[in-house]
């Protein structure tokens, strides 16, 4: 069976480019090198597929011709005073470019999913800058890796294996073997506890306390991984050290580290639930590393403080660079959310939350961002592409999105497509359509076409182009 190699995985921001896909008679038969999520995407993408365009008639979604769906969409966008165009992070840069043209044409607001993931990180980077790099540099050189407020084992399952602790770099070796032997010990203990509980018929063990003491591996001259989180996630189990922080206290912890790095005394015993002696030891490990990196996730951007947490994290890295080399990088979620920011920026000057209602791009997150607009009930129509806001927006925002006319472009049935007025079945970019996407470190990579799409499915690019063309045609007719 023919094997297609070097396929990029259109799932998460790690954007792995070493996937091998076996295809026979236009059907994907097997996937190698992908994580569980990536494999599920390649093998199950055809489930819950929308076959034809749908238009809501008498309250029910009914099959319609492509022409009818395009015309209805164009009418919705032209008749609206303040439409929202949202999504964009799971499609190609080529489609995003046309989306921006459409937003300008209809005088709407265009926003991407970074508004509910790393929007605060972008605001902070605009305020204080960022010391970052590509993932290749970290794979080869980083000897101290922090995952702060993120769980790569769950959200970016191959990140640790490909880019950090478990990757074999030119100057840093993988610590995979040490992890496997440690994991063996942990599993044996768990099995023993389960067996004893089974024999006695009740749980006699209290959940073990999390140790604050730094293990000896933290003082060895080899690659080390520290996870900072409020729960002991799978990533924390794989780490050399897990630093458990109280919820919503990351800002205090980051500022405490800044004081310790600056050799200042803390006149408290604990910060964010962590003893100051422990923080002092970790600060020494930070200063003692050759190249450190902090990967941070939504545990910083979504909790109390939001962008100020990121300010503190970036400032900590800046302080550390007085003593050693340190870098910082956000763990971007969708495979092309970084691309959405890049394309938005080179087209308009701004990375997300862009308002074209005055005829020129305006950017003021908090005012022009999609959640705020929806909660203020200002939008009067919506176009959603490659995203599912009804499933992921807070209830109030989602309710205000679906009460207005709604256009959805998506390959699959989702809660959002079920609530739409017009639904376009699109092709899967990276499986049925080629394109370009940006990895989390802003490296652009190609998305491959590996199978032919179903007959009635057009690419996001083509659907958007047709809607844009129809909007312009109807506008000139109405003038």
Site for another protein in 391-410 (CB under 8 A): 391-399, 402-403
CB of 322 to another protein, least distance (A): 29
In whole angstroms, give the CA distance from residue 284 to residue 266.
15
Q: What is the DSSP letter of 426?
A: B
Binding-site member from 6, 32, 48, 189 for another protein (CB under 8 A): 48
- Say whether residue 379 binds another protein (CB under 8 A): no
- Say whether residue 431 binds another protein (CB under 8 A): no
CB of 41 to another protein, least distance (A): 5
Is 290 in contact with 325 (CB distance < 8 Å)? yes
In whole angstroms, give the CA distance from residue 9 to residue 41.
9
Of 34-42, 220-228, 444-452, 454-462, the window that binds another protein (rule: CB under 8 A) is 34-42
> At 245, phi and psi to the nearest 5?
-110, 150
Hey, which residues between 341 and 360 contact another protein (CB under 8 A)?
352-353
Residues 57-86 vs another protein: string with x where CB under 8 A?
--x---------------------------
The sign of the CA dihedral 85, 91, 92, 93 is positive
Site for another protein (CB under 8 A): how many residues? 75
Binding-site member from 120, 330, 339, 361 for another protein (CB under 8 A): 120
Is 99 in contact with 385 (CB distance < 8 Å)? yes
Q: Which two tokens stand for residue 337?
A: 């959310």
| 133 contacts: CB under 8 Å, gap ≥ 6 | 327, 329, 441
Of 30-38, 217-225, 342-350, 354-362, the window that binds another protein (rule: CB under 8 A) is 30-38
Q: Which two tokens stand for residue 57?
A: 């008639």
* DSSP H or E stretch at residue 318: helix 307-320
- Say whether residue 87 binds another protein (CB under 8 A): no
Is 320 in contact with 286 (CB distance < 8 Å)? yes
The sign of the CA dihedral 412, 418, 420, 421 is positive
Hey, which residues between 133 and 152 contact another protein (CB under 8 A)?
151
Hey, which residues between 157 and 186 contact another protein (CB under 8 A)?
157
- Say whether residue 252 binds another protein (CB under 8 A): no
Residues 433-472 vs another protein: string with x where CB under 8 A?
----------------------------------------
CB of 288 to another protein, least distance (A): 29
471, exposed or middle or buried, with CB in 10 Å at 0-12, 13-18, 19+?
buried
- Say whether residue 303 binds another protein (CB under 8 A): yes
């Amino acid at each position: 069976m023919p094997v297609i190699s070097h396929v990029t995985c259109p799932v998460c921001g790690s954007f792995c480019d070493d996937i091998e896909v076996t295809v026979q008679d236009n059907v994907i038969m097997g996937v190698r090198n992908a994580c569980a999520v990536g494999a599920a995407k390649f093998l199950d993408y055809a489930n819950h597929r929308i076959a034809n365009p749908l238009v809501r008639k008498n309250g029910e979604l009914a099959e319609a011709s492509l022409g009818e769906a395009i015309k209805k969409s164009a009418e919705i966008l032209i008749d609206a005073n303040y439409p929202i165009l949202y999504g964009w992070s799971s499609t190609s840069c080529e489609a995003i470019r046309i989306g921006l043209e459409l937003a300008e044409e209809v005088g709407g607001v265009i926003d991407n999913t970074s508004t509910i993931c790393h929007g605060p990180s972008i605001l902070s980077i605009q305020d204080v800058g960022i010391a970052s790099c590509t993932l290749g540099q970290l794979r080869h050189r980083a000897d101290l890796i922090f995952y702060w407020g993120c769980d790569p084992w769950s959200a970016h399952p191959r990140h640790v294996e490909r880019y950090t602790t478990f990757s074999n770099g030119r100057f840093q070796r993988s610590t995979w073997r040490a992890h496997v032997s440690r994991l063996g010990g942990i599993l044996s203990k768990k099995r023993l506890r389960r067996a004893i509980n089974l024999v006695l018929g009740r749980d006699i063990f209290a959940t073990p306390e999390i140790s604050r003491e730094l293990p000896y591996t933290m003082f060895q001259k080899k690659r080390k991984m520290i996870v900072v989180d409020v729960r002991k996630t799978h990533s924390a189990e794989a780490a050399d050290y897990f630093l458990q922080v109280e919820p919503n206290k990351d800002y205090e912890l980051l500022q405490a580290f800044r004081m310790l790095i600056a050799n200042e005394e803390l006149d408290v015993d604990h910060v964010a639930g962590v003893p100051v002696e422990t923080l002092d030891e970790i600060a020494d490990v930070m200063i003692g590393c050759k190249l450190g990196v902090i990967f941070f996730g939504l545990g910083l951007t979504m909790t109390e403080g939001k962008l100020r947490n990121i300010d503190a994290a970036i400032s900590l890295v800046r302080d550390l660079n007085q003593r050693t080399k340190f870098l910082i990088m956000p763990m971007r979620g969708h495979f092309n959310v970084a691309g959405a920011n890049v394309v938005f920026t080179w087209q308009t000057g701004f990375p997300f939350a862009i308002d074209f209602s005055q005829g020129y791009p305006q950017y003021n997150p908090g005012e022009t961002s999609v959640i705020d607009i929806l909660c203020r009930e200002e939008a009067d129509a919506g176009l959603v592409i490659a995203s599912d806001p009804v499933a992921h927006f807070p209830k109030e925002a989602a309710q205000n999105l679906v009460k207005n006319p709604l256009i959805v472009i998506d390959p699959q049935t989702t809660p959002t497509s079920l609530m739409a007025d017009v639904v376009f079945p699109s092709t899967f970019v990276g499986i049925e359509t080629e394109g370009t996407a940006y990895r989390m470190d802003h490296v652009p990579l190609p998305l491959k076409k590996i199978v032919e799409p179903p007959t009635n499915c057009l690419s996001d690019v083509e659907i958007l182009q047709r809607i844009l063309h129809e909007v312009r045609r109807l506008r000139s007719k109405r003038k």
